[in-house]
């Protein structure tokens, strides 16, 4: 087998290079739960996982502020996803972290 | 006395005859200078909207300014009484002299290894070139300072011009303890490099053991990124390496010394007050 083919197999099977990160969140709108992402689909995703998690954390902090004018539960289930919209483990803990988790059924 | 009066009268006649022309010539000169400056300023504003190259905008504005000045000076000289042909010859002569001087001294004029807009490092200074003149270069540093660097200083020192290097190699250097899992540490670093979107696939990122130092085993993770993303990528990777090592229980080494204690027979001390005095001296108490 050629070296190039071997490297291709390794790249496909071992570590996948993520093409970008987005912050996933959900919000309630007239009883419906809407899933949204930032940056949006029309924008380029974030290249830095660190920046993505920091953005998610700041968003959670902003919505979690005591005395905020926003209604409770307006934005929840905030976490970072990759280019396939799969949740990404937090680089600091190695686990899937969700800010403002709400199991809304 | 009569001679002086005659001279004053003659002067008065000259002023009456030529004074008005000279006055008009000065008015034309001053008005022309003001007009040339105003046109120069307006031209820069207009050209900047259509041309992104600042050097080209400066050059075009300078040429137009000089042309207007030449016409203004020629007009003022003609108004002052000089013949048109004489004015043309003077202007032609001055132009030829300038061209001749430029040709002769061009090889001796400093040729800076960068242009306006390039990002450079010279000595300890790093910044974007905002302007260059014959004597100095204006740099804007990354923290917002404007520095005027003499060209002579730049020419005597090395210059790194990042404009010509669209890609750079980012190096993440970590030292781990000798008792830590070296292979695991290398694998973790390589994984982090490969999965980062900014690290290029070609050349492949790699991790090397670069040194067996006094207090640690030094690892160096290397990957290539686009120049503009270098700094943030490096900072992110340093953070991720540290945190991932913490998760995997790989300890990052810090300078330390091993102290080996050998048990031997303790020296004999005199009993009684002598011993107490010795202890007191050691502890500083009385």
For B176-195, b/e burial (b = at least 16 CB within 10 A) is: bbeebeeeebbebbbbbbbb
Chain A residues with CB under 8 Å of B232 CB are 48
Is A50 within a domain? yes
Q: Please report the pLDDT score of residue A9 as a whole number.
A: 86
A20, A48, A83: best to mutate for the B interface, most B CBs within 10 A: A48
Percent of chain B with pLDDT over 90: 43
| ipTM entry | 0.85
Beta-carbon separation of B232 and A17 below 8 A = no
A17 touches chain B (CB under 8 A): yes
Q: How confident is the model at residue B279 (pLDDT cuts 50, 70, 90)?
A: low
Both tokens assigned to B169: 């190699």
Is A7 within a domain? no
Is A5 within a domain? no
Residue B161 β-bridge partners? B120
Chain A residues with CB under 8 Å of B204 CB are 7
Give the lowest-confidence range in A63-72, B34-43, B72-81, B237-246.
Answer: A63-72
The distance of A20 to chain B (nearest Cα, Å) reads: 6
Q: How confident is the model at residue B277 (pLDDT cuts 50, 70, 90)?
A: low
A92 → closest Cβ in B197, B229, B243: B243
Q: Please report the pLDDT score of residue B266 as a whole number.
A: 55
Residue A25, classified by CB atoms within 10 Å of its CB into exposed (0-12), middle (13-18) or buried (19+), is buried
Is A35 within a domain? yes
Evaluate if residue B165 carries a pLDDT over 90: no
Q: Taking a contact as any Cβ pair under 8 Å apart, which residues of chain A between 36 and 75 contact chain B?
A: 47-51
Residue B197 β-bridge partners? none
A47, A80, A86, A93: best to mutate for the B interface, most B CBs within 10 A: A47
pLDDT tens-digit series, residues B214-270 = 889 999 999 999 998 999 999 999 999 999 999 999 999 887 677 788 887 655 555
Average pLDDT over residues B128-149: 91
Beta-carbon separation of A48 and B191 below 8 A = no
Could you tell me where the beta strands, DSSP code E, fall in chain B?
119-122, 125-132, 136-141, 146-150, 159-161, 167-176, 206-212, 217-226
Q: Please report the pLDDT score of residue A104 as a whole number.
A: 56
Q: Please report the pLDDT score of residue A90 as a whole number.
A: 95
Residue range of the domain that includes A40:
19-105
Is A14 within a domain? no
B191 touches chain A (CB under 8 A): yes
In chain A, the number of structural domains is: 1
B240 → closest Cβ in A11, A91, A93: A91
In tens digits, chain A (105 residues) has pLDDT values of 888 888 888 878 888 888 999 999 998 877 788 899 999 989 999 999 999 999 999 999 887 655 555 455 578 899 999 999 999 999 999 999 999 888 754
pLDDT tens-digit series, residues B4-25 = 888 888 888 877 778 888 888 8
Is A63 within a domain? yes
- The reported pTM is 0.67
B191 → closest Cβ in A15, A47, A94: A15
Higher pLDDT, B267 or B160: B160
Is A96 within a domain? yes
Is A10 within a domain? no
Percent of chain B with pLDDT over 70: 90
Chain B residues with CB under 8 Å of A17 CB are 194-197, 199, 201
Domains of chain B, CATH where assigned:
7-108 (1.10.287.1260), 119-162 (2.30.30.60), 167-247 (3.30.70.100)
> How many other β-carbons are positioned within 10 Å of the β-carbon of residue B244?
18
């Amino acid at each position: 087998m050629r070296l190039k083919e071997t490297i291709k197999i390794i790249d496909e099977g071992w570590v996948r290079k993520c093409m970008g990160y987005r912050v996933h969140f959900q919000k309630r709108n007239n009883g419906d739960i809407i899933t949204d992402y930032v940056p949006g689909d029309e924008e380029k995703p974030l290249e830095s996982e660190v920046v993505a998690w920091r953005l998610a954390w700041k968003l959670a902090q902003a919505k979690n502020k005591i005395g905020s004018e926003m209604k409770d539960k307006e934005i929840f289930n905030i976490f970072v996803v990759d280019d396939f919209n799969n949740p990404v483990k937090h680089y600091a803990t190695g686990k899937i972290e969700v800010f403002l988790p709400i199991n809304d059924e | 006395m009569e001679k002086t009066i005659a001279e004053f009268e003659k002067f008065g006649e000259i002023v009456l005859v030529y004074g008005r022309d000279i006055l008009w010539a000065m008015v034309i000169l001053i008005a022309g200078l003001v007009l040339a400056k105003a046109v120069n300023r307006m031209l820069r504003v207009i050209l900047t909207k259509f041309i992104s190259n600042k050097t080209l905008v400066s050059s075009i504005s300078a040429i137009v300014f000089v042309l207007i000045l030449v016409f203004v000076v020629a007009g003022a000289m003609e108004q002052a009484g000089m013949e048109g042909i004489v004015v043309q010859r003077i202007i032609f002569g001055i132009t030829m002299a300038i061209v001749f001087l430029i040709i002769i001294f061009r090889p001796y004029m400093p040729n800076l290894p960068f242009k306006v807009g390039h990002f450079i490092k010279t000595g300890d200074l790093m910044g974007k070139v905002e302007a260059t003149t014959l004597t100095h270069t204006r740099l804007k540093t990354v923290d917002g300072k404007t520095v005027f660097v003499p060209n002579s200083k730049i020419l005597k020192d090395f210059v790194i011009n990042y404009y010509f290097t669209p890609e750079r190699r980012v190096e993440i250097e970590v030292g781990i303890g000798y008792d830590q899992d070296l292979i695991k540490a290398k694998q973790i670093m390589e994984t982090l490099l490969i999965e980062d979107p900014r690290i290029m696939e070609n050349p492949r990122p790699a991790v090397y053991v670069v040194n067996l130092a006094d207090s640690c085993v030094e690892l160096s993770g290397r990957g290539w990124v686009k120049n503009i993303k270098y700094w943030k990528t490096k900072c992110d990777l340093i953070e991720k390496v540290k945190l991932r090592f913490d998760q995997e229980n790989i300890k990052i080494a810090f300078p330390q010394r091993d102290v080996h204690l050998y048990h031997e027979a303790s020296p004999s001390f005199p009993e009684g007050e002598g011993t107490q005095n010795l202890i007191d001296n050691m502890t500083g108490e009385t």
